[in-house]
């Protein structure tokens, strides 16, 4: 802890060349990358690798990533360049993807933790690239945290960890992604993701076809098990606070946390309103990139405020969310709690996509289904103040002489444009929401554990806060139009108007744990597989 550490500025050309000179001399310099800060040193010098392990306090069998700036720097590092590596480089380099290949003799075993393979990444951050160029050698750079603590996504964090231990720390502000790169190995028969990150599994599959995900990404590796990525067996990303992930709907989460004493909540932005406990947020509920960006800083913040017992909201595992979950579950030492055994699944999607087919299949697997359309069709639901407001907004003639609601007339007026739809939602959603809550309670009392909320406007009604998981059923627009014309006896124009008032595919996909494409059909096997994957115990 007594080294003179120079603070360098990523925006200064002079400091970049200084960093290069230090690195060439075999010193260590912490540098910004687009993911997290890296603790960089000459990747081809065995004694430098040893120094990186020493400073980081990292077990020396945990290999380092070798960073390059140009494709010409790759061939000398590897035995051969697999076809798949070229495709990945074309699609994602420079960027947050690390590719594992067989190493050449040039790369010392010290750098690869004794392995015959080497992990290579081409960062996109301009300062990282400039420093590699200035150093004139590939740079080994693990995340610049001390082993076991959260990765550093902000300059202050690395200063806390590394000041006095390295020759230089370069200030490059906050990071773009905030989570480390995706690590994929090409030495297995099928390419395999060892660590999820900013490039999602879905993106990798779009380029390579088949891609596996290593089991250790999601579950705790067995003691002494052989893991493909040594980094995954160590306690990782852990702040001092004791974190438990709560697998529940937002309502259940809030009720659980509010019943605990002396705890801190780690939740999404805006959810503090549900909580009585102090809260630290990590991004927005339906925005995995924002969660990735905020997570490590939020873990640091928990330590900074002295949080001891922390209950965290469960991130979705889709897309970049998988990387968020992977880091958080390690920060939590794999502790997940499920406060109650009711499993409410939100089932949503556009009209005509075929939710009813899927809900029928869910019933056959023993789920109770609450049909929200049916709930909203109940004429008794709209009474008193709510009915008066509807009349004011859409005309007195939406109520027939016998006092019943003419739903078709209301629908035609309310779905005529986005503004009218919004007015309808504002008036009816609170009433619908309360009824749904009652229906769920009724199912629960009758002994049903798996409850499906079949709700076309799940999100708009705010009913997603009642759900532990959300499934969207989507289908191609022509198919949906044909279906609703046939089902509801609509003209093309009426059908298109109704569809126009609805949310896009992206809206649903971005908010769901699972998406089922029902343009042709959804098989019972697919539904069963989904229920199993979401951890829903089938009876
Ligand atoms: O975004 C990132 O990748 C950051 C920035 C600084 O580039 N670096 C980073 O490095 O996160 P590090 O050392 O903290 O994580 C490297 C991970 C570890 O889990 C390690 O086990 C794995 O990659 N890894 C490296 N070489 C490997 C190899 N040859 N075989 C299997 N896993 C390897
Ligand atoms: Mg790390």
Test site for ligand 1: of 229, 233, 234, 323, most ligand atoms within 8 A of the Cβ: 229
Ligand 1 mean position, distance from CA 287 (Å): 25
Pocket test for ligand 1, best of 142, 146, 158, 198 (most atoms within 8 A of CB): 142
| pTM of the predicted structure, to 2 decimals | 0.88
Convert 455-482 into a string of H (helix), E (strand) and C (coil): CCCCCCCCHHHHCCEEEEEECCHHHHHH
d(CA 222, CA 231) in angstroms, rounded, equals: 14
pLDDT digits (tens, 9 = 90+) for 473-524: 999 999 999 999 999 899 999 999 888 878 899 999 999 999 999 999 899 9
With cut-offs at 50, 70 and 90, classify the pLDDT of residue 401. Answer: confident
CA distances, 337 to each of 244, 246, 318, 386 (Å): 7, 5, 20, 39
Ligand 1 atom closest to the Cα of residue 96 is 1
Q: What is the DSSP string of 152-163?
A: P-SHHHHHHHHT
Quote the pLDDT of residue 226.
63
Torsion angle of the four alpha carbons 270, 271, 275, 277, in this order, in degrees rounded to the nearest 10: -80
Number of Cβ within 10 Å of residue 136's Cβ equals: 10
Tokens of 201: 């599994």
**Residue pLDDT, tens place only, 346-396:** 999 988 898 889 999 999 999 999 998 888 888 788 888 888 999 999 999
- Please give the domain boundaries of the chain with CATH numbers for all domains: 6-217 (3.90.870.10), 242-337 (3.40.50.11030), 341-367+448-539 (3.40.50.300), 376-446 (no CATH)
**Residues with Cβ–ion distance below 5 A, ligand 2:** 143
For the Cβ of 41 lying below 6 angstroms from any atom of ligand 1, the answer is no
Q: How confident is the model at residue 61 (pLDDT cuts 50, 70, 90)?
A: confident
């Amino acid at each position: 802890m007594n080294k003179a550490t120079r603070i360098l500025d990523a925006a200064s050309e002079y400091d970049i060349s200084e960093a290069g000179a230090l690195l060439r001399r075999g010193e260590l310099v912490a540098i910004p990358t687009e993911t997290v800060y890296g603790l960089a040193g000459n990747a081809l010098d065995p004694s430098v690798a040893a120094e990186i392990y020493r400073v980081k306090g990292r077990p020396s069998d945990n290999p380092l990533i070798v960073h390059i700036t140009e494709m010409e720097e790759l061939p000398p590092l590897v035995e051969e360049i697999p076809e798949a590596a070229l495709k990945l480089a074309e699609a994602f380099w420079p960027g947050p993807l690390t590719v594992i290949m067989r190493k050449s003799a040039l790369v010392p075993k010290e750098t690869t933790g004794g392995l015959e393979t080497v992990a290579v990444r081409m960062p996109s951050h301009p300062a990282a690239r400039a420093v590699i160029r200035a150093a004139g050698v590939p740079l080994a750079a693990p995340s610049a945290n001390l082993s076991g603590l959260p990765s550093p996504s902000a300059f202050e964090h690395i200063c806390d960890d590394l000041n006095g231990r390295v020759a230089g720390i370069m200030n490059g502000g906050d990071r773009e992604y905030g989570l480390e790169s995706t690590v994929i190995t090409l030495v297995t028969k099928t390419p395999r993701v060892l660590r999820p990150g900013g490039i999602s599994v879905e993106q990798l599959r779009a380029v390579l076809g088949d891609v596996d995900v290593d089991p250790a990404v999601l579950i705790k590796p067995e003691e002494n098990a052989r893991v493909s990525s040594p980094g995954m067996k160590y306690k990782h990303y852990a702040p001092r606070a004791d974190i438990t992930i709560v697998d529940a709907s937002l309502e259940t989460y809030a009720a659980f946390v509010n019943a605990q004493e002396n705890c801190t909540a780690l939740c999404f932005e805006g959810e503090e309103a549900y909580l009585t406990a102090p809260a630290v947020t990590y991004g927005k509920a339906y925005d995995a990139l924002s969660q990735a960006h905020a997570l490590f800083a939020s873990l640091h913040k928990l330590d900074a405020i002295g949080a001891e017992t922390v209950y965290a909201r469960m991130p979705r595992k889709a897309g970049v969310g998988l990387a968020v979950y992977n880091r958080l579950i390690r920060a939590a030492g794999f502790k997940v709690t499920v406060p109650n055994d009711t499993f409410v699944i939100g089932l949503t999607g556009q009209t005509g996509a075929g939710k009813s087919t899927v809900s029928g299949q869910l019933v056959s697997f023993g789920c109770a289904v609450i049909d929200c359309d049916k709930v909203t069709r109940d004429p008794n639901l709209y009474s008193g103040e709510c009915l008066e407001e509807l009349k004011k907004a859409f005309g007195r003639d939406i109520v027939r002489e016998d006092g019943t609601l003419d739903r078709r007339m209301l629908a035609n007026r309310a779905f005529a444009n986005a503004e009218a739809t919004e007015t309808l939602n504002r008036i009816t959603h609170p009433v619908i929401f309360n009824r749904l809550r009652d229906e769920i309670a009724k199912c629960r009392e009758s002994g049903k554990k798996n409850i499906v909320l079949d709700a076309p406007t799940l999100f708009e009604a705010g009913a997603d806060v009642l759900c532990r998981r959300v499934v969207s059923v989507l289908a191609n627009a022509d198919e949906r139009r044909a279906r609703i014309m046939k089902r509801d006896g609509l003209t093309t124009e009426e059908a298109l108007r109704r569809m126009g008032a609805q949310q896009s595919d992206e809206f649903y996909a971005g908010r769901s744990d699972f998406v089922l494409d029902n343009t042709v059909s959804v098989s019972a096997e697919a539904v069963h597989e989904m229920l199993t994957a979401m951890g829903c115990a089938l009876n």
